[in-house]
Amino acid sequence: MRFQYVFIVLGAVFFVRGAAFADSSQYTLNPGDVLEVTVWKEDGLDREVLVLPDGGISFPLIGSVSTTGKTPAVLEAEIKKRISGYIPDASVSVAVKAALGNVISVVGQVNKPGELIVGHRTSVIQALSIAGGLTPYASTSNIIILHREGDKEISTPFDYDDVSRGRGLETDVILTPGDVIVVPNASLF
């Protein structure tokens, strides 16, 4: 019995570690994230770096590196390639120490308006819940999601009443960093 318990615990640990790895392999780096970059057997190159607002980081020997649109694994491969002229066969590791760049804003008639730093994929309903829910003065059928794609701002309507009743669930989209949820006042007439 005790032997089975050990296997169950070990299996759970490996399952959780595998799930965390799968999630981080899909994570796209954002400005504001804190990364830990290590080069094995090169302690002088190990550092914690902040992703700057332009999406870049600075690293010894290779200078500026863009993180825009990259996962930690892709950035790892790029650093390894660029550093190979100085350190052949370098073993590079990039880990997200703090996902502080995954910011969504919720403004208007919610109980706790402001920026939300979320460490996971978040839908509109989840973001509204994290913001403390809607106030009694919220216009539940006129919520707007503002999303930027390149230089273009896209406005998408969101009907809280429909989604909370199980209709229009396709509008409960997964938010991306920089998205803004606007909850207007309900009109009195």
Model pTM score: 0.70
Residue 11 and residue 80 share a domain: yes
Domain count, the chain: 2
Q: What is the CATH number of the domain that holds 176?
A: 3.10.560.10
Q: What is the CATH number of the domain that holds 35?
A: 3.30.1950.10
Residue 72 and residue 7 share a domain: yes
Between 21 and 75, where is the model more confident? Answer: 75
For residue 151, the enclosing domain spans 103-183
**Tens digits of residue pLDDT in 122-143:** 999 999 999 999 999 999 999 9
Which of 53, 16, 61, 6 lies closest to 33 in space, CA to CA?
Answer: 53
Q: Would you state the structure tokens that stand for residue 112, as one six-digit string?
A: 């706790």
Task: Give the per-residue pLDDT at 8.
Answer: 40
**Tens digits of residue pLDDT in 129-180:** 999 999 999 999 999 999 988 889 999 999 999 998 989 898 899 998 899 9
> Given its phi and psi angles, is residue 148 left (phi above 0), alpha (psi -120 to 50 degrees) or beta?
beta
CA–CA gap between residue 70 and residue 76 (Å, rounded): 10
**Tens digits of residue pLDDT in 50-70:** 999 999 999 999 999 999 989
CA–CA gap between residue 49 and residue 36 (Å, rounded): 6
Q: Which residues contact 122 (CB under 8 A, 6 or more apart)?
A: 104, 116, 130, 174, 175
**98, 117, 134: which is the final residue of a domain?**
98
